Amino acid sequence: MKTYDAIVVGAGHNGLTNAAFLAKAGLDVVCVEKNDYIGGAAVSRNLYEDWWYSNCSYVCSLLRPEIYRSLELHKHGLQVTPYGGSVQFMENGDYYGSYHDHEAAYREMARFSRHDADAYKRYSADTMRQCRFIRDFLLSTAPDPTSFRPKDLLELARIGGKFMEMGEDRMYDTIRFWTMSVAEYLDGYFETDVIKTAMSGSGIIGTALGIHSPGTAYVLLHHYMGDVDNNVGSWGFARGGMGAVSNAIAGALQAAGGEIRTDAGVEKIIVKNGKTSGVALENGDEIHAKVVVSAMDVKRTYLKCMDKSDLPEKFHHRIENFKIRGSSGKVNIALDGMPTFPALPEGSSLYHSDMHFIDSMERMERAYDDWKDGRWSEDPYIDMVIPTLNDPTMAPPGKHFMSCFVQYCPHKIEGRDWTSAEKDAFGQTVINQIANYSPDFKDLILHAEIRTPEDIEAEIGITEGNIFHGELTMDQLLFNRPIPGYAQYRGPVAGLYMCGSSTHPGGGVMAAPGANAAREILSDLKRPNTVPQSFGDD
């Protein structure tokens, strides 16, 4: 049977990216995928008539432009269209909007508080400073602070240099920033509850933490550090849904001579004499290669697809304790027409924005309390978008696709499996909260797909359906991601690598883990590097 140079397990966007850069270096690569479609959590699924659902990830910003450019994703059909603004609907019938246009955004903030409108400049500069600091390290391997290898020392010196450059005050700020809660961070600037609420959402998306939990300020950064066309912090829609991202990367992979095999779930990663030699598929086939790269999360990789006896004890233990907790669900809806939101002025640009239906920090924290009790939030934080207002390709003209990201939603209900009645009730909670602000919304619903973390795990394979493949807290970031000593994409077995979002720099449709892992693999194989460098100072 044919032996490949490398097998990449999982055709999500990171697996495909990794495979594409390996293939570009001339390696004979196959990317295997358990589902009969590719894309993992960056997919467009045709689940109802002529509607295409971005039914997992739904917006795009973190995708590294260096990778986009290097893989020529536009030639493979990818187009990312920015959209502007967000809106917070309020219980008192008012709303707080944030606008793409700076002056409009200022005036809206000043409607609530002139103090906050003026404070925003300082907030924005402080947050941008942190963005600049981290953005530069996204497309590089995190150095190991305990290592004396020249590569690590050089990179540590570079980070240290960038850190020192900030000056004393800002160094203190940075250390505080990385460990504080998003609520405390925002309290340092703003006085208005709804404004803080609007900004706090980015601090908890994808995490099993509340706005008052330490570490959530960094998560906010994780949602700000992306860009669309150099506009840092901007978000966009992939034309045709998020599947367009995966399909374009797959196009680049195939153009470079790589293969993709669907319906090819991996049962076991084969290890012999401390080295991997390939994978055994669920269908009984074996595929052989000296390099196996797992794009799966680390728990699935090491606890489900490997024998405990093949792994060091301490490593195994640490992986077992890796924090990867289901905290969010999705409700994807096909609409017969555009729902109205009477609180908004007619024709408001905010119709095109991210919509939220929660207006106080207290409600945000209470939503988290429900999760701690093993329940979904009765009054959830919803991040709702209607991409079809921008994208003519995802639904028939005049019809719409609505994506609702919902937090919090536990992996298990009070420790046991979800019942179908509970799943429906979860969906109803979401629909009801939106309907509170849109009287015609319910009548326009043609079809709804309700996805709990349990569903996402079952279909996509991500442990607990955690969108980031593991919490983005300091103990699991940079040289600690996924675990100390294994943060440079190499597994504990020779020839085994990791390239999923469990590795640096973490989750989101970024493609950086896949690319960074490819650079390390090519270096080990003494092949020329195909992975682009960071564009640098922005």
Partner 1 sequence: MNTQAPVHQGRLKSPFYSRIEPLDFLNEWHEWKGYSSADSLYCADLEYFAIRNATAVFDLTPMTKYRISGPDALDYLNRLVTRDMAKVKPGRVAYAVWCDDQGQVIDDGTIFHLREGEYRLCSQERHFAWLQASALGFDVSITHETEDVAALAVQGPTSFSTLSNMGLEGLGELKPFGLTHFDFQGTELMVSRTGFTGDLGYELWIDPDKAEALWDALFAAGELYGIRAIGTHALELSRIEAGFLAAYMEFLPADETVRTGRSRSPLELGLNWLVDFKKPNFNGRRALAEERRNGSAWQLVKLDIEGNKPAHNSYIFAKEKGNKSEIGFVTSAAWSPICKQNVALGTVRAPHGKPGDTVWVEIYYQREMHWNRQMAKASVVDKPFWFPPRRGATPPGPY
Min dist CB 536 to partner 1, Å, is: 7
Judge whether 46 and 396 are in contact, CB under 8 Å.
Answer: no
Judge whether 131 and 141 are in contact, CB under 8 Å.
Answer: no
Nearer to partner 1, 230 or 273 (CB): 230
* From 100, 170, 212, 288, residue interacting with partner 1 (rule: CB under 8 A): 100
CB burial of 181-207 (b: ≥16 within 10 Å; e: otherwise) equals: bbbebbeebbebbbbbbbbbbbbbbbb
Q: What beta strand segments (E) does 62-167 contain?
A: 80-83, 86-89, 95-98
Tell me the C-alpha distance between 434 and 419, whole Å: 23
How far is C-alpha 277 from the geometric centre of its chain's CA atoms?
31
Tell me the C-alpha distance between 155 and 268, whole Å: 35
Q: Does 391 bind partner 1 (CB under 8 A)?
A: yes
Nearer to partner 1, 28 or 538 (CB): 538
Residues 187-206 that bind partner 1 (CB under 8 A): none
- The torsion angle over the Cα atoms of residues 454, 363, 54 and 223, rounded to 10 degrees, is -110
* From 135, 223, 239, 504, residue interacting with partner 1 (rule: CB under 8 A): 239
Nearer to partner 1, 196 or 400 (CB): 400
CA distance readout (Å), 317 to 243, 273, 306, 307, 468 = 35, 21, 14, 13, 21
Q: What beta strand segments (E) does 393-457 contain?
A: 400-407, 445-451
* From 93, 167, 397, 415, residue interacting with partner 1 (rule: CB under 8 A): 397
Name the residue type at position 486. Y
Asked if the bond preceding 482 is cis, omega within 30° of 0, the reply is yes
Alpha carbon distance, N-terminus to C-terminus of the chain? 49
* From 36, 92, 93, 230, residue interacting with partner 1 (rule: CB under 8 A): 230
Min dist CB 7 to partner 1, Å, is: 29
Min dist CB 106 to partner 1, Å, is: 15
* From 124, 147, 192, 231, residue interacting with partner 1 (rule: CB under 8 A): 231
Q: Does 393 bind partner 1 (CB under 8 A)?
A: yes
How many residues at the interface with partner 1, by CB under 8 A?
29
Q: Does 243 bind partner 1 (CB under 8 A)?
A: no
Q: Does 3 bind partner 1 (CB under 8 A)?
A: no
* From 277, 349, 360, 480, residue interacting with partner 1 (rule: CB under 8 A): 349
> Which stretch in 255-263, 267-275, 316-324, 392-400 sits in contact with partner 1 by CB under 8 A?
392-400
| Torsion sign, CA atoms 217, 220, 226, 227 | negative
Nearer to partner 1, 398 or 439 (CB): 398
Classify residue 410 as exposed, middle or buried by CB count within 10 Å of its CB (0-12, 13-18, 19+). Answer: buried
> Which stretch in 228-236, 285-293, 459-467, 510-518 sits in contact with partner 1 by CB under 8 A?
228-236
268 forms bridges with which residues in the sheet? 280
* From 192, 390, 480, 529, residue interacting with partner 1 (rule: CB under 8 A): 390
Which element (helix H / strand E) includes 235?
Answer: strand 235-238
Structure tokens at 479: 């040289």
> Which stretch in 154-162, 182-190, 201-209, 224-232 sits in contact with partner 1 by CB under 8 A?
224-232
Min dist CB 389 to partner 1, Å, is: 8
Binding mask 122-161 toward partner 1 (x if CB under 8 A, else -) reads: ----------------------------------------
Per DSSP, the residues of 152-173 read: HHHHHHHHHHHHHHT-HHHHHH
Binding mask 355-374 toward partner 1 (x if CB under 8 A, else -) reads: --------------------
Tell me the C-alpha distance between 324 and 321, whole Å: 9
Nearer to partner 1, 122 or 149 (CB): 122
Judge whether 352 and 338 are in contact, CB under 8 Å.
Answer: no
Q: What are phi and psi of 187, to 5 degrees?
A: -60, -25
> Which stretch in 41-49, 226-234, 296-304, 361-369 sits in contact with partner 1 by CB under 8 A?
226-234
Min dist CB 528 to partner 1, Å, is: 17
Q: Does 84 bind partner 1 (CB under 8 A)?
A: yes
Q: Does 82 bind partner 1 (CB under 8 A)?
A: yes
Tell me the C-alpha distance between 68 and 464, whole Å: 29
Binding mask 42-81 toward partner 1 (x if CB under 8 A, else -) reads: -----------------------x--xx---xx----x-x
Q: Does 210 bind partner 1 (CB under 8 A)?
A: no
Residues 462-491 that bind partner 1 (CB under 8 A): none
Q: Residues in the site for partner 1, rule: CB under 8 A?
A: 65, 68-69, 73-74, 79, 81-84, 100-101, 228-231, 239, 349, 389-393, 397-398, 535-538
